[in-house]
């Protein structure tokens, strides 16, 4: 699997949904329906990349903002930076640790262990501001469910990656990251291998699941109804990869 691979083309194929995903929807049914509209049908070796929003919606992770009573502290923070105090309140409720809270930006560690703005709580691309959408409760498990159901229905094993857009320290702009993985390894480790000059590769663990998420991010536009895409031609490694593999353990995190 890790031999000097003859490079091959990669294709990223958008999968458009005509229907809105609603709480309680059978996501795999909707997905198989949407896949019928793809010019190139799903084939062995394909990876499915799914924006978390449709997963969260199907799982009913919507919160009516009218029901949220923000604390005095959330209200003060929101007032200062012209934010919605209810979203701040929800973000804190969804967090297990506040990493930074400065200049209107709230960076938290979610219960999954992800470090991101507002615990991933989002009001855009939901329903115009009435509801907030939370991350899936256990996004690895959500990926595993889709993976398992697709296997049952298609008799083929397709890795599934669920993504969200995260900000980064030091670098501008958001990029997509993997927050749920099933059916493949999240990292490719080249550490025991040698480069073409025979020199051992020292620090060479590639976060392929995040790179796949980014590649999908180029196709799954924020403004188009394309919450899924197929990545074809990538030599993934089968395995029990998890989004947790992509979280740096506290002990090796220089930025705690």
Enumerate residues 16-35 that contact its own copies by CB under 8 A: 16
Say if residues 211 and 225 touch (Cβ distance below 8 Å): no
Say if residues 243 and 225 touch (Cβ distance below 8 Å): no
- Near its own copies in 30-89, by CB under 8 A: none
Using CB under 8 A, count the residues that bind its own copies: 83
- Near its own copies in 121-150, by CB under 8 A: 123-129
Q: Which is nearer to its own copies, 119 or 145 (CB)?
A: 119
- Near its own copies in 97-126, by CB under 8 A: 100, 102-103, 105, 107, 115, 117, 123-126
Q: Which is nearer to its own copies, 39 or 44 (CB)?
A: 39
* Residue whose pair of structure tokens reads 């051992």 in the numeric block: 200
Which range in 62-70, 72-80, 143-151, 242-250 contacts its own copies by CB under 8 A?
242-250
Angle subtended at Cα 110 by Cα 159 and Cα 183, rounded to the nearest 5 degrees:
10
Q: Which of 37, 41, 60, 200 binds its own copies (CB under 8 A)?
A: 200
Smallest gap from Cβ 50 to its own copies, in A, equals 15
Distance in angstroms (rounded) separating the CA atoms of residues 222 and 218: 9
Which of 94, 89, 132, 86 has the alpha carbon at shortest distance from 112? Answer: 94
Say if residues 92 and 77 touch (Cβ distance below 8 Å): no
Which range in 70-78, 88-96, 134-142, 224-232 contacts its own copies by CB under 8 A?
224-232
Does 180 sit near its own copies (CB under 8 A)?
A: no
Residue 48 structure tokens: 């499915």
Smallest gap from Cβ 148 to its own copies, in A, equals 25
Distance in angstroms (rounded) separating the CA atoms of residues 34 and 150: 13
Residues whose CB falls within 8 Å of the CB of residue 120, separated by 6 or more in sequence, listed in order: 52, 94, 110, 114, 134, 135, 164, 179
Q: Which is nearer to its own copies, 32 or 219 (CB)?
A: 219
């Amino acid at each position: 699997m890790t031999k000097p691979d003859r490079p091959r083309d990669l294709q990223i194929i958008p999968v458009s949904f005509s229907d809105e995903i609603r709480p309680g929807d059978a996501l795999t049914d909707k997905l198989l329906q949407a896949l019928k509209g793809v010019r190139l049908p799903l084939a062995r070796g394909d990876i499915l990349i799914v924006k978390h929003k449709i997963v969260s919606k199907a799982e009913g992770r919507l919160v009516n903002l009218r029901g949220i009573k923000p604390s005095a502290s959330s209200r003060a923070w929101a007032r200062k930076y012209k934010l919605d105090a209810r979203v701040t309140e929800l973000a804190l409720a969804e967090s297990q640790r506040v990493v930074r809270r400065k200049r209107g930006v709230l960076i938290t560690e979610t219960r999954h262990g992800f470090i991101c703005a507002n615990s991933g709580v989002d009001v855009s691309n939901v329903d115009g501001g009435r509801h907030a959408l939370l991350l899936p409760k256990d996004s690895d498990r959500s990926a595993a469910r889709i993976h398992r159901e697709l296997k049952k229905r298609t008799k083929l094993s397709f890795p599934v990656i669920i993504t969200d857009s995260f900000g980064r320290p030091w670098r501008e702009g958001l990029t997509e990251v993997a927050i749920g993985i099933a059916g493949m390894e999240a990292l490719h480790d080249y550490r025991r291998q040698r480069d073409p000059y025979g020199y051992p590769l020292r620090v060479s663990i590639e976060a392929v699941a995040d790179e796949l998420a980014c590649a999908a991010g180029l196709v799954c536009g924020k403004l188009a109804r394309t919450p899924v895409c197929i990545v074809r031609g990538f030599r993934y490694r089968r395995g029990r990869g998890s989004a947790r593999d992509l979280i740096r353990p506290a002990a090796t995190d220089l930025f705690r």
